[in-house]
Amino acid sequence: MSDDERHGATAAHRRMDIARGGRHALDTEFTEPPDRPIREDIRDPRFLRAVVVGLTIYLVSRLCVIAGAGVRAAQRVVDVRKDIADGILDEAEPSAGSTISNLLTSWDGRWYLEIVRGGYPEGIPDNITYEQLEARAAFFPVYPWLVRVVDFVLPGGDTFAALLTNFLLGAVSVVLVGVLARRLFSVAVAARSMTLYAVFPGSYVLSFAYAEATFIVLAALCLLFLVEERWLLAGLAAAVGTGTRPNGVALVAACAVAALLAIRRRRDWAALVSLALAPLGFVGFQLYVDAQTGERGAWFRVQREAWSEGTSFGATAVVNTFRFVTSPLSSPADALTALTLIAMFAMLWCLWKRHLPLPLVAFVAVVIALMLIPETVTARPRFLFTAFPLFIAVGAWWPEPDSDPDHHRASWDRSGWDVVLILGGAGLATLTGLYGVFGAIP
């Protein structure tokens, strides 16, 4: 056997051991791309069928979001009818479509649309509050600028462009999660990962005018390129990704770990290209906002003053969870925190059992840390959702029914999977409804 063949066999055995979650995986580094070309994965008929299933589940999950938003639409119509009957209002009854659209563009969506319509402010008042339009300087530019382009190309207005963009990017993100899972594991794992990703309650954000869909697409591309060791493409995806959301800095950590491993193992100094490019989006946005507003550190001041973003390093999450345990029906926000933490620990356990490449682990770790650090808005389903490699870990952990000789165990696993899907769909609709009706910060 030649040195190349021996090296390839060793790498293949190491990847198989990591995919199985064996103990040897704890002492190895998943630093080499799979032996097969990526085009073989994408063209595999079995994988294509899995993608069809994943996209079908995605469409069904969007119906769950619409169902949840319909609850708010019904409540709004009832309230307006009562106000009209009492003489408080003198206006037409709102349509279900407009009410649902207003819900899907509320909260952060409102600020992104303000950027689409008016760009960034030319100055920021002292002691700014979130009620002032200049507070839009707290939101990153890639998603609203993309919406502006779509709005320029397509008719229908900026609201339609924002929601359509996220719907399409959401579908792309489902496929990318599947491609990444297939590169690391199997077609079955890819199918399960796409399904879990689509029905997770935090996936409601793919239907709102939020930046998560854009960020996840860019992050998935970056992580996929890191696995493939395509350093320039990984760096470019990361550079745009860090200009999409604050937790985009997790991509810098992923590129740093990938570069460190590549240099330590093979002296592949080209890996530093991805690390050099990764933070450019975040840094560039800070410089742009500072120049636009005429002050240094404008974004940080808006975060501090308008949004009261301090640090608690997880204390807020613990306090909110304790309040939920002692009084479970008192606060939807506390319930969301507690349930998010439960889901997070369960997914991290799956990650421990089924090891992912270290760059993906670094990405997940930073996203979770940034979710828990803030003092105001802490653990939420949509923040955990952006740690999407966890869905691959859960999909890889879930037992293969055909490979389990115990028929009763296989039946239990199948039933458990059905329960997870039902709970996911129900949670997706419920979370959207609670968000709209009670204004629970998601």
Q: What is the spatial distance between Cα 209 and Cα 207, in angstroms, rounded to a whole number?
A: 7
* Residue 420: CB atoms within 10 Å: 17
Helix 407-438 and helix 45-85, axial crossing angle in degrees, nearest 10: 30
417-435 pLDDT, tens digit each: 888 899 999 999 988 888 7
- Cβ-in-10-Å burial (0-12, 13-18, 19+) of 287 comes to exposed
Per-residue confidence (pLDDT) for residue 442, from 0 to 100: 53
Q: How confident is the model at residue 25 (pLDDT cuts 50, 70, 90)?
A: very low
| Amino acid present at 277 | L
Half-sphere exposure of 276 (CA within 13 A, CB side): 7
Q: How confident is the model at residue 309 (pLDDT cuts 50, 70, 90)?
A: confident
pLDDT above 50 for 340: yes
| Cβ–Cβ under 8 Å, residues 111 and 136 | yes
Q: What is the spatial distance between Cα 433 and Cα 286, in angstroms, rounded to a whole number?
A: 35
Of 291-295, 403-407, 409-413, 425-429, which gets the smallest average pLDDT? 403-407
pLDDT above 80 for 239: yes
118-166 pLDDT, tens digit each: 999 999 999 999 889 999 999 999 999 999 999 999 999 999 999 999 9
Q: What is the spatial distance between Cα 168 and Cα 217, in angstroms, rounded to a whole number?
A: 11
Q: What is the spatial distance between Cα 134 and Cα 122, in angstroms, rounded to a whole number?
A: 8
Q: What is the spatial distance between Cα 41 and Cα 20, in angstroms, rounded to a whole number?
A: 19
Of 8-17, 220-229, 260-269, 420-429, which gets the smallest average pLDDT? 8-17
Q: How confident is the model at residue 16 (pLDDT cuts 50, 70, 90)?
A: very low
> Per-residue b/e over 12-24, b at no fewer than 16 CB within 10 Å?
eebbebbbebeee
Q: How confident is the model at residue 196 (pLDDT cuts 50, 70, 90)?
A: very high
* Mean pLDDT, range 381-404, rounded to an integer: 87
27-85 pLDDT, tens digit each: 334 446 777 888 888 999 999 999 999 999 999 999 999 999 888 788 777 777 787 77
* Mean pLDDT, range 350-364, rounded to an integer: 95
Structure tokens at 230: 């395509």
* Mean pLDDT, range 388-416, rounded to an integer: 74
Q: Where are the alpha helices (DSSP H) in 154-308?
A: 158-184, 187-199, 212-227, 231-241, 250-266, 272-277, 280-293, 298-305
Per-residue confidence (pLDDT) for residue 381, from 0 to 100: 93
| Amino acid present at 301 | R
CA distances to 11, 18, 181, 185, 270 from 6, rounded to whole Å, are: 9, 18, 26, 22, 25
Per-residue confidence (pLDDT) for residue 229, from 0 to 100: 94
Q: What is the spatial distance between Cα 424 and Cα 311, in angstroms, rounded to a whole number?
A: 31
The percentage of the chain sitting over the pLDDT mark of 70, rounded to a whole number, equals: 88
Half-sphere exposure of 416 (CA within 13 A, CB side): 13
